[in-house]
Structure formats: C-alpha cells, structure tokens
Structure 1
Amino acid sequence: MARRDGPIRRPLERGKTAIRGLRGAITFLTQLPVPRAGADASERDWNAFRTTPAAFPLVGWLVGGLTALVFVLGDGVPDATVAFGYLLAVYLVTGINHLDGVADAGDALVVHGDSEHRRHVLKDTTTGVGALLAVVMVLVGVALAGFTLSGAPLLVAVAIVLAAEVGAKTGLALIACGGRAAHEGFGAQFTASLTPRQAISPLAIGVPVIALSWPSPIAALTFAGALTGTALTWWWARRRLRGVTGDVFGAANEVSRLLGLYLGVIAWTLW
C-alpha cells in the first residue's frame, strides 16, 4: 500500500509546497491579505517560498494585473490623475519595503570605501543624500511612466505594466537562484536554498508575458528592460558588496520595474 501511495503523495506534497510558496511570496512581495490556517502557517509559507522561485513571477502577474486596472478604469480621466493613481496603486499593492532597499542601496552606491564599509552603510539607519535621491528618482520615474502610458492605447499600457512587473519579479527569481549572498541574512535565505537549474520554472512562467503585445515587440522589450535592470543591480552588488543582500533584492525590484516601463514606453513610441 505504501508503494502505491508514494507516487500520488509526492505530487500532492509538491502541490501543497507550491501553494504555500505562493502564499509566502504574496506576503513578502505585496501588502495583500493572505488567509492562513494554523499558528505556524506563516513560517511554513516562508520556508516554502524560499524553495519555490516560480512564485516570484506568479506574484508579478498578480501585481501587474492589479496595478494595470488603473489604466482600465482611468479612461477619460486626466493624464496626471491616472499617473498619480498608478503610482499610488503600485505602492498600495507592493508596500514600501522595496523602497527601503532602494534607499539603503542609494547610500551604499555613493559612499567611498571597500565592500565591507558599503555593507555597513546598508545596515545604517541614517538616511543620506544618496538614499533620498534614489527614492525620489524611482517615485518620479514611476509617476512619469504612468503619465506617458495614460496616453497610450489601453492594450499597450496594460501589456507594458504587466511585462515590467513580471520581468522585475522574474529577475528577482534569477538572483535568488544564481546569486551569492554577501553575508548571512535575508539574501542567504534564498541563495542557500536554490540553484541555477531552478531558474527554469520562473522563466517558463515569466517569458510568456512577451506575447501580450504580439506581433509588436513592445512587451518583449519591456520584459528585457526589466531583466536588464536586474542584471545591472546584480552586477553592482557583486562588484561593490561581494554578493546580494535583502536590500539588493528590494533595489533590484524597483530598478527593474522602472527600466522595464521606460524601455516599453520607448518601444511604443517607435512601434
């Protein structure tokens, strides 16, 4: 009996782990409420998320779909109002934890010193000029992208918003699977649990977003722009911090979304 149950039980367990991983990803990457059962459900969801990289782009689809509703519902509304609505929607859905990573990375970017000193700056609670500039640039950049997209055809705007968000989250999955942690901390929670081979599943879930604007390459270029943002942040972290940290994950998310949005906007103006 045990042998007959084994092949059935294993897929069921994998399915449960995937669901828990998705719940953990939604909890970490968004502000959306997640129903749970049991006192230790939150810890089990987090542990499952650490080993389920496919949950990253799935949350990207969710966040992108929710924030794109601003453009769907904003037909006939002034462009500036739609832009502010998009900015508000992004951070109401995702929260500001990732912006904290932008702020810390901004300070570490402008400071002089070796990797150890820069990592110390990441942990410093003092807000410097680099942090303020980085956060303002991200917020203004997202708002201006929303302003431009409010004048685009609805399907184009939705495709760009979705592709930027899915691309950003896919990028986080790639960092989790292939990155090396700078120290024992949040980043190590993922990098110690995943391997480069596990990047296949998040790519399989994320890449189909490029079909949203087919035959136009707008969505594909948006997705590529988001991954470029990931690559640049990752490269900087490896060079200046000697690895990734929780702040690097947060900064990569924001930079990737921003580059994706702007490459999508540029692609729309050209095609």
Structure 2
Amino acid sequence: MLPGLITALRLLSILPIPGRESRHFIDGLPWYPAAGAVLGYLVCGVCLLAHAVAPDWGGLLAVLGLAASIALTRGLHLDGVADCADGFWGGHERRRRLEIMKDSRIGAFGVIALVLVLLGEWTALERMVDVDTIILIPVAFIVSRFGIVLLAHCFEYPRAQGTGAAVVKGATRRHLWQAFGVGLLLSLPAGVAAVPLWGAGIAMTLAVGFLGKWKIGGVSGDVLGAGCVLSEMTLLFAIVLGS
C-alpha cells in the first residue's frame, strides 16, 4: 500500500493498517479523500446491513451508521467542533479564544454544538430510507476529508505552533490538486449526483474557514476538524434533500 495512504488512514481512522508510513507526515494530504472513501464505504456497509434487516426502521440505520462513524474515527473531529464552539463564542478577543480552545475541558457551547451536530447527522441518516440514497454516503466522507486539505492550503495557522500546524503550514497547491483529483476519481461511482454534493461540501468548508479567520486569525487543528464534521453533516442533508 502507498505510504501516503497509510499515513492518511492511520491519522484519520482507527483501522489497523499494515505497512510503512510516508517519510514526511505532509505526504499523506493527497490521500485524505481516499481515507474518507474507506471510512464512507464502511459506514455505508453498516447502513445497508441495517436497511436489509429492518428496511422501515430508519432510526436503527441512523444509530448504527452514526456509531460506526464515531467508532471508526474515534471521534477525532468532534473534539474540534466542541473546542471551536467554546473558543469562538466563549472569548471576546482572539488571544482568549485560542486559550479556551487549548483547554481540554468542554464548556456549555461545546456541549450544545456536539448535541446539535450529532442530532443533525442522526436526522439525516434516519431519512435515508432507500438504497439509492444510502450508497451516496461515501461521497460525504470523501468531500469532507478533501475539505481538510482545502482549509489547510487556503488559510494560515493562527499560532506559532500546535496541533495541526504541520498540516496547515505544509499544505501546498500540489497537495490540494492531488487531493482534488483523488476525490473526484473516487466520486465517479456516484455519477452526476456527486456534482452538487461537491459544491455544497466546499461551500460549507470555506464558510468554516472564513469563520476561523474572523475569530482566531486562521485555521487550527480544531478548525480543520470542525470543518470536516460540518461539511459531512451538510452533505448528508444534501443527499437526503436531493433524493
């Protein structure tokens, strides 16, 4: 297996991937959409199994699909959602917001944000009552993971160092276009249905990026995670609304 893909999968999932990682951490960036595809197809498989067992019980599909997503990613990006909510709305100036985001404790804004995001994803999954809709789930994971690369390339890192610094400071235009190409290739099975999903995902990702720039002067590791989760949720809703 390609070292860059191994690096991406080990970072973005709990999957026990054999092999040697790339020599440079940043070499995994072009493969983030591929890691998203692996996660997406696994979650899709769980949802299809739930649909086969109980086709009229959308709640079961939603619970199992959401649980699989959280388990496979160890809730990695959800932490970013909570930290961003606490920092962005818990501090009145940039330095204080960054301090709050580094605090390992979760505040009221973080709890509210997590509840709303999880409820949103559950609601979208619960509405996926037919196979044609369920099989589009991988696109949501592909585009949202591409969004991490997009944010890293388009925005600055707001601290001198910290979590996510290597990704944001090392992301280049080459990484972005390679990730875009990988993502488009992996989205081909979805056909033309993938086109509006890419548009919706990129729009939400950039919205999070500009919010991060406004609140803290750029995108930290937490903002990368929050952008990924919010893009994924947006795409799940877009899949349902477009069905």
Deviation at 1:212, TM superposition (A): 3.3
Which residue identity lines up with residue 148 of structure 2 in the other structure? L
User: Among 155, 159, 170, which residue is 1:193 paired with?
Assistant: 170
Gaps in structure 1 of 5+ consecutive residues? 1-17
Deviation at 1:156, TM superposition (A): 2.5
**What does 1:56-67 align with in structure 2 at a 5 Å threshold?**
56-67=32-43
2:114 is equivalent to residue 114 of structure 1: no
Determine if contact 2:6/2:17 at 8 Å carries over to the other structure.
Answer: yes
**Distance in 2 separating the partners of 1:46 and 1:35:** 13
**Distance in 1 separating the partners of 2:118 and 2:66:** 7
Q: 1:193 to 1:177 in 2, by over 3 A?
A: same
Which residue identity lines up with residue 165 of structure 1 in the other structure? F
**Distance in 2 separating the partners of 1:142 and 1:207:** 23
Question: Which residue is equivalent to 1:251?
Answer: 226
Gaps in structure 2 of 5+ consecutive residues? none
* SS of equivalent to 2:14: coil
Deviation at 1:245, TM superposition (A): 0.9
Question: Which residue is equivalent to 1:204?
Answer: 181
Percentage of pairs with the same residue: 24
Deviation at 1:251, TM superposition (A): 0.9
* SS of equivalent to 2:157: coil
Instruction: Give the TM-score normalised by structure 1.
Output: 0.82
Determine if contact 1:222/1:262 at 8 Å carries over to the other structure.
Answer: no
Q: Aligned Cα RMSD in Å? A: 1.8
Determine if contact 2:139/2:190 at 8 Å carries over to the other structure.
Answer: no
Question: Which residue is equivalent to 1:6?
Answer: none
Instruction: Give the TM-score normalised by structure 2.
Output: 0.91
Question: Which residue is equivalent to 1:13?
Answer: none
**Distance in 2 separating the partners of 1:200 and 1:234:** 18
Question: Which residue is equivalent to 2:158?
Answer: 182
2:116 is equivalent to residue 140 of structure 1: no
How many residue pairs match? The answer is 239
**Distance in 2 separating the partners of 1:214 and 1:52:** 26
**Distance in 2 separating the partners of 1:130 and 1:214:** 39
- Please give the per-residue CA displacement for 1:7-52, whole angstroms capped at 9, x wherever unaligned: xxxxxxxxxxx8222112111111111224xxxx6xxx37533133
- Please give the per-residue CA displacement for 1:26-85, whole angstroms capped at 9, x wherever unaligned: 11111111224xxxx6xxx37533133211111011111110002321214122111111
**Distance in 1 separating the partners of 2:41 and 2:223:** 25
* SS of equivalent to 2:41: helix
Question: Which residue is equivalent to 1:12?
Answer: none
**Distance in 2 separating the partners of 1:35 and 1:26:** 10
Q: 1:232 to 1:206 in 2, by over 3 A?
A: same
Which residue identity lines up with residue 71 of structure 2 in the other structure? L
Q: 1:127 to 1:46 in 2, by over 3 A?
A: farther
Which residue identity lines up with residue 124 of structure 1 in the other structure? D
User: Among 67, 71, 89, which residue is 1:88 paired with?
Assistant: 67
**Distance in 1 separating the partners of 2:162 and 2:104:** 17
